[in-house]
C-alpha cells in the first residue's frame, strides 16, 4: 500500500465517520425524536424504554447516513486536495487520478458490503423492535397512545378490518369525547361507529388486549344490505383491541426478512398484485440502497475536484443535493404499479451515478 493510499484513505474514513455522526444526530435522530416525543417523553415513558428506542433506530438511520456521510467526506477531501494543489503534485509525480481514487473505491465497496448486511439482517429486526417498544408502551400506559384531536389508525383486528380511534380530550384516567370507527374489509362486511361521552382504557395483559369501558355510549352499525342498526347504553364494555406483539404477526415488508418475504410470496400464489409488488420491491430496494456508497464513489471524486474551494460548504451542500435526489427517486419508485418499472427506478440512481462518474473522470483526466 502506497503512502498516498493511506493518506487519502485515512482522511476519507475520518470524514465519513464525522459526517455520519453529524447527519445521524441532526437529520435522522432529531426528526425521529420530534415524532416520538409525545409518546416517549411527554407521556413519561420509562428511561429504559427511551434508551432501547434510541438503540433500535440507530441501524435504520445508518442506511441513510452512511452513504450520505461517505459522499460528503469524498467531496470535501478531494475538494481540499484540489484547492491545496496536492492533486497536481501527485499527478506530476506520475500518479493518475484513477490511481489516486483507488482508496475511495475500496472504502466505498466495503461500506456497500456493510450496508448490505445492515439492510438484510439488521434493519428489519430493528424496525420490528421499534414497533414492539410502542406496543410495550401501550400495555404500560394505554392512554399515552391517544392524543386529543388526532385520528389513531395503527390498530388492527385479527382479520383485515381496520380500527380508528379519535378522542376530544383527557380528564384523569378517562378520555373525553370518544369516537371509534371499525372499517369493513370488503363491501360485504358491516361498518361500525361508536361514540361515548367518556371512556376508560384498561389492559388485559394475559391476552394482550386493550379493553374499553364506555359511558353514555351510542352504537351505529351499517349493514352490507344498506340497513342501519342503532343502540344506546349508559355503561358498556364492548370494545376489545388487539395488542399482540407485531413480531408475532409480521405483515409490513419493512420488518420482514428476505426469507420471510420470499416465503410469503411462495405460500400465497393468490396474493394481490399490488401486495406482491410491494414485497418484491422491498428486496430490490435493500440491494440497491446497499450499492449507494460504491456508486457515489464514481461521482464524488471528480465533483470534489471541480469545487476547488478552501471551505467545505460547497462539498457539503453538493452532497446534500445529490443524496436528496438519490433517495427521492427511490421514494417515487415505491409509487409505481409495475414490477418492472419499480426495479428500473430503484436501480436507476446507481446506474446514473456510475455513468456520470465515468464521464466526469474522462473529462478530469485532461484538466
pLDDT along the chain (367 residues), means of 10: 84 92 74 58 60 77 89 88 81 82 94 94 82 66 68 53 77 82 73 87 65 85 83 77 52 81 81 79 89 92 70 62 80 74 86 89 72
Distance separating alpha carbons of residues 357 and 306, to the nearest angstrom: 13
**Residue 70: per-residue pLDDT:** 93
This prediction has a pTM of: 0.70
Grid coordinates representing 62 are 445508518
Nearest-angstrom CA–CA distance, 350 and 91: 29
Instruction: Provide the 3-class DSSP secondary structure of residue 103.
Output: helix
Q: How far apart are the C-alpha atoms of 136 and 251, rounded to whole Å?
A: 19
**What b/e string do you get for 22-38 counting C-beta neighbours within 10 Å, with b at 16 or more?**
ebbeebbbeebbeebee
Listed as own residue / partner, the contacts of 153-158 with beta carbons closer than 8 Å and 24 or more positions apart are 155/241, 155/242, 156/242, 157/182, 157/241, 157/242, 158/242
CA distance between the termini of the chain = 27
Return the pLDDT at 247: 47
CA distance 59 to 255: 13
Instruction: Give pLDDT, residue 115.
Output: 93
Q: Which of 248, 298, 253 is closest to 98 using CA atoms?
A: 298
- Gap between the Cα atoms of 258 and 284, Å rounded: 10
Q: What is the pLDDT of residue 308?
A: 54
Per-residue confidence (pLDDT) for residue 282, from 0 to 100: 87
Amino acid at each position: 500500500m502506497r503512502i498516498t493510499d493511506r493518506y487519502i484513505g485515512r482522511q476519507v474514513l475520518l470524514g465519513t465517520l464525522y459526517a455520519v455522526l453529524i447527519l445521524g444526530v441532526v437529520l435522522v435522530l432529531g426528526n425521529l425524536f420530534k415524532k416520538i416525543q409525545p409518546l416517549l417523553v411527554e407521556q413519561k415513558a420509562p428511561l429504559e424504554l427511551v434508551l432501547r428506542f434510541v438503540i433500535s433506530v440507530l441501524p435504520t438511520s445508518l442506511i441513510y447516513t452512511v452513504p450520505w456521510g461517505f459522499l460528503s467526506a469524498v467531496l470535501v477531501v478531494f475538494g481540499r486536495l484540489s484547492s491545496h494543489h496536492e492533486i497536481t503534485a501527485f499527478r506530476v509525480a506520475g500518479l493518475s487520478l484513477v490511481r489516486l481514487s483507488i482508496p475511495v473505491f475500496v472504502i466505498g465497496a466495503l461500506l456497500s458490503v456493510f450496508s448490505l448486511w445492515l439492510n438484510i439482517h439488521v434493519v428489519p429486526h430493528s424496525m420490528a423492535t421499534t414497533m414492539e417498544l410502542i406496543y410495550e408502551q401501550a400495555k404500560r400506559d394505554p392512554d399515552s397512545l391517544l392524543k386529543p384531536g388526532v385520528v389513531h389508525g395503527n390498530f388492527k383486528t385479527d382479520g383485515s378490518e381496520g380500527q380508528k380511534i379519535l378522542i376530544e380530550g383527557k380528564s384523569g384516567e378517562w378520555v373525553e369525547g370518544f369516537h371509534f370507527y371499525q372499517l369493513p374489509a370488503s363491501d360485504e362486511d358491516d361498518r361500525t361507529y361508536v361514540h361515548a361521552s367518556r371512556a376508560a382504557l384498561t389492559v388485559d395483559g394475559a391476552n394482550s388486549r386493550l379493553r374499553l369501558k364506555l359511558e353514555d355510549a351510542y352504537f351505529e352499525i351499517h349493514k352490507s344490505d344498506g340497513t342501519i342498526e342503532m343502540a344506546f347504553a349508559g355503561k358498556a364494555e364492548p370494545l376489545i383491541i388487539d395488542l399482540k406483539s407485531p413480531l408475532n404477526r409480521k405483515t409490513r415488508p419493512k420488518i420482514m426478512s428476505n426469507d420471510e418475504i420470499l416465503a410469503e410470496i411462495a405460500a400465497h400464489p393468490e396474493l394481490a398484485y399490488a401486495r406482491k409488488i410491494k414485497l418484491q420491491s422491498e428486496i430490490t430496494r435493500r440491494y440497491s440502497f446497499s450499492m449507494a456508497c460504491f456508486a457515489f464513489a464514481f461521482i464524488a471524486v471528480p465533483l470534489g475536484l471541480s469545487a476547488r474551494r478552501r471551505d467545505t460548504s460547497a462539498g457539503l451542500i453538493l452532497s446534500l443535493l445529490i443524496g436528496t435526489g438519490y433517495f427521492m427517486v427511490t421514494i417515487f419508485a415505491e409509487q409505481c404499479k409495475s414490477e418492472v418499472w419499480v426495479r428500473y427506478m430503484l436501480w436507476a440512481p446507481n446506474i446514473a451515478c456510475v455513468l456520470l462518474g465515468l464521464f466526469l473522470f474522462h473529462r478530469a483526466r485532461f484538466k
